[in-house]
Amino acid sequence: MSKIITVELNLEPADNHRLASLCGPFDDNIKQLERRLGVEINHRSHNFSIVGQPHTAEATANILKNLYVDTAPVRNVIPDIEPEHIHLAIKESGVLEQDVSSSIPYGKEIHIKTKKGVIKPRTPNQAQYIANMVGHDITFGIGPAGTGKTYLAVAAAVDALERQEIRRILLTRPAVEAGEKLGFLPGDLSQKVDPYLRPLYDALFEMLGFERVEKLIERNVIEVAPLAYMRGRTLNDAFIILDESQNTTVEQMKMFLTRIGFNSRAVITGDVTQIDLPRGARSGLRHAIEVLADVDEISFNFFQATDVVRHPVVARIVQAYEAWETEDQKQKKLAEQRRREQQEARQASPETE
């Protein structure tokens, strides 16, 4: 039977309003921690006791300490601790990883500063991704939705701009419909392509604020454009992000990668399981993974379902699809093998006159 310990914790400075924010309405935040980590949490005022296995009980105590720090008043207003903060705090702690030894304090070593505040990686893969964006001219971020590929890339771009390491940010993605035929779209060319680029705008607005983003776009310090606009350009002193790159063709990917000029960095993000190209067209992202694997200046980061930082059910959805696709590919290979065996058997049998 696993050893059970009790960890005592006293949160200081004592503040009932901060304590209420930490615990949530009807102690919902405490209940979420208990449910997710398999511990029992009891508290009387600011004195907590956590009962559970050693590594989970200690991790829970650290999570509570960190969340209490996050309740510190900002301009005399105490921030609310929402369920998503609990989820992200658990992710950041690494307590749910099977290999507990891998839970190094990566979040304290690698981080990105923006006007919004400090953005820290929540998983070891995200930490490596940020390190690669700093240390490589071209970085690929490949994995399922919700792993922070685009968000962290935009944060790294904003950080580089604030540090004056680059002079402009360029965000682009292919304008490919996701399995739908939208038909005629009203408006000028900018209004037609804006819906495809909305996720990039959203990340910028969150980090810099709407007014500042608008001013930077007016001055062409930030440019958000469809991939088709990149042909013929050379991009110097820029941080360039190509989002949804699984929907590029081989020719488009080559065109984009050859636009990169001096003192520029590029980040290419995509999910090879969600390709919306016409049937028969090869994904430029899949092709680039094969062709560029041995180029030293390029880094590849592959995210897994365990890196998903959205609602917990998203990770389980990704895992379910991965399991189904693995089994589907296995069945197709078996069917192809049987077909070949039958064909070889017919060829080997003597012909009848």
Pick the range with the lowest mean pLDDT from 25-29, 163-167, 195-199, 323-327: 195-199
The CATH code of the domain that includes 41 is 3.30.1370.10
Q: Are residues 182 and 245 in the same domain?
A: yes
Closest CA to 129 of 151, 100, 158: 151
- What is the arithmetic mean of pLDDT over 61-85? 90
Within this chain, do residues 278 and 169 fall inside the same structural domain, yes or no?
Answer: yes
In this structure, are 146 and 76 located in the same domain?
Answer: no
Q: 243 and 323 in one domain? A: no
Tokens describing residue 336? 């192809």
Looking up tokens 């365990």 gives 306
Query: Do 212 and 115 reside in the same domain of the chain?
Result: yes
CA 109 to chain CA centroid, nearest Å: 19
Residue 350 pLDDT > 70, yes or no? no
Same-domain pairing of 177 and 66 = no
Q: Please tell me which residue, 52 or 69, carries the higher pLDDT value.
A: 69
- Shared-domain flag, residues 219 and 324: no
Q: Where are the alpha helices (DSSP H) in 267-311?
A: 284-291
Query: Average of pLDDT values for 54-78?
Result: 91
Position 115 pLDDT exceeds 60 = yes
CB 72 within 8 A of CB 83: no
Give residue 72's pLDDT: 92
Residue 326 sits in which domain range? 311-353
pLDDT at 9 over 70: yes
Contacts of 40 (CB under 8 A, 6+ apart): 34, 50, 51, 52
Q: Which is more confidently placed, 150 or 104?
A: 150
Tens digit of pLDDT for each residue in 149-206? 988 999 999 988 888 888 899 998 887 654 445 455 555 555 656 676 777 888 888 8
Examine the fold and report which residue of 100, 129, 149 is the final residue of a domain before the chain moves on: 100
Strands 5-10 and 47-52: antiparallel
- How large is the average pLDDT for residues 266-290? 88
Q: Which two tokens stand for residue 170?
A: 């360029």
Return the higher-pLDDT residue of 257 and 97. Answer: 257
pLDDT digits (tens, 9 = 90+) for 287-310: 999 899 888 889 999 888 778 776
302 and 316 within one domain: no
Q: Which of 3-17, 105-119, 153-167, 250-264 has the lowest mean pLDDT?
A: 105-119
The C-alpha atoms of residue 306 and residue 314 are separated, in whole angstroms, by: 10
232 is written with which tokens?
Answer: 């013929």
Are 53 and 72 in the same domain? yes
- Within the chain, what is the greatest distance between any pair of CA atoms? 97
The total of structural domains in the chain comes to 3
Q: Between the CA of residue 280 and those of 153, 179, 275, 277, 283, what are the distances in Å?
A: 30, 15, 11, 8, 9
Q: Are strands 47-52 and 40-44 parallel, antiparallel or unpaired?
A: antiparallel
Note the Cα 175 to chain centre separation in Å.
Answer: 21
Task: Tell me how far the alpha carbon of residue 261 is from its chain's centroid.
Answer: 26
Amino acid identity, position 327: E
In the predicted model, is pLDDT for residue 2 greater than 80? no
Q: Of 80, 100, 120, which residue sits at a domain end?
A: 100
In the structure encoding, which two tokens stand for residue 326, read together? Answer: 């693995």
Q: How far apart are CA 206 and CA 2, in angstroms?
A: 44
pLDDT at 309: 73
**42: nearest Cα among 33, 50, 34, 32:** 50
Domain end call among 68, 83, 100: 100
Residues 154 and 163: their CA atoms lie apart, in Å, by: 14
Q: Assign residue 214 the CATH number of its domain.
A: 3.40.50.300
Cβ proximity of 29 and 70 under 8 Å: no
Q: pTM for this one?
A: 0.61
Note whether 238 and 300 are same-domain residues. yes
pLDDT at 96: 67
Indicate the average pLDDT of the chain.
Answer: 82
40 and 114 fall within a common domain = no
